[in-house]
Amino acid sequence: MSRRDLLRRARGVDGLLTMLSDRVDAELLDACPRLKVVANYAVGFDNLDLPAASARGVLMTNTPEVLTEATAELAWALILACARRVLEGDRLVRAGRFQGWDPLLLLGDSLGGKTLGILGPGRIGRAVACIGRGFGMKILTAGRGDLKALDRLIRASDVLSLHVPLTEATRHLLGLRELARMKPGAILVNTARGPVVDEEALVGALRSGRLAAAGLDVYEREPRLARGLAGLRNVVLLPHLGSATVEARRAMALRAAGNLISALSGLRPKDLLPSPVHTRP
């Protein structure tokens, strides 16, 4: 629903179940004086103002764990589509330009023996790495706070997959300088949050050929794209489908509903988010 409708319809409620596109800030919290809990239908929670909620005694929850496999699978769909130029081949056939087998037609890259970099080795990052081992890839990982490991990861990865949450520390974590340090011909995949990457800088890196390809499921100003991104042939663009399986979305709904019921029953929700007032044990 629109922001206006959300503000109007949320007045007087005890609990809210929000989408990642809903901004839960001081304005919304002040419009709901009876509010006790916000259950976010997502694992990411950059749309939630945790300090503002804590100051008002409102609990906040998310839906971790249940979308790990779905998001990892989608990251790999993007990796394979980029490495083997799947969409370029699809467009060629649909346009009637396929003239038969050609030894040099749309040559891509093999993955065996290459280095898969995982930026953010949490649940999803580890699941992506596990699949990568099945392809015979070498695995490198780095957390967002380890600058030395991050630099090594950026320089060494043939495929770099992003799995960090969006915070002020991770906004534009991959900017012009970082993209310029990536291995020539590397592939970048982002199924985390769009603003982790400077999208304008990415367009430049793709246009110049510095990067072979990019696979994106999220965008810096979602749903808008940076100028020039949609016109590039070496980018695969998906409409935020990371958790879009029947199984994952059902599990997310049940998890969010369970968190709401627990909080409104006076119990501690399973997926309580940390704040200045309440922290995970």
One of 65, 73, 88, 222 is an active-site residue; which one? 222
C-alpha–C-alpha distance, residues 113 and 139, integer Å: 10
User: pLDDT 10s digit of each residue in the chain, 281 long?
Assistant: 899 999 999 999 999 999 999 999 999 999 999 999 999 999 999 999 999 999 999 999 999 999 999 999 999 999 999 999 999 999 999 999 999 999 999 999 999 999 999 999 999 999 999 999 999 999 999 998 888 999 999 999 999 999 999 999 999 999 999 999 999 999 999 999 999 999 999 999 999 999 999 999 999 999 999 999 999 999 999 999 999 999 999 999 999 999 999 999 999 999 999 975 544 33
Q: Considering the candidates 144, 193, 199, 220, report the single residue annotated as catalytic.
A: 193
Asked whether 227 and 201 are in contact (CB, 8 A), the reply is: no
- How many helical (H) and strand (E) elements, i.e. helices and strands, does the chain have? 10, 9
Would you call 247 a catalytic residue per the annotation? no
Q: What's the rounded Cα separation, in Å, for the pair 128 and 170?
A: 20
Active site annotation includes 97: no
Q: Does 222 qualify as catalytic in the annotation? A: yes
Q: What gap in Å lies between CA 28 and CA 10, rounded to an integer?
A: 8
Asked whether the whole model's pTM tops 0.85, one would answer yes
Give the C-alpha separation, 177 to 250, whole Å: 40
Token pair recorded at residue 107: 């040559």
Walk me through the domains of the chain, giving residue ranges and CATH numbers: 3-65+245-264 (3.40.50.720), 68-237 (3.40.50.720)
Q: Quote the distance between the C-alpha of residue 2 and its chain's center.
A: 23
pLDDT of the residue at 276: 59
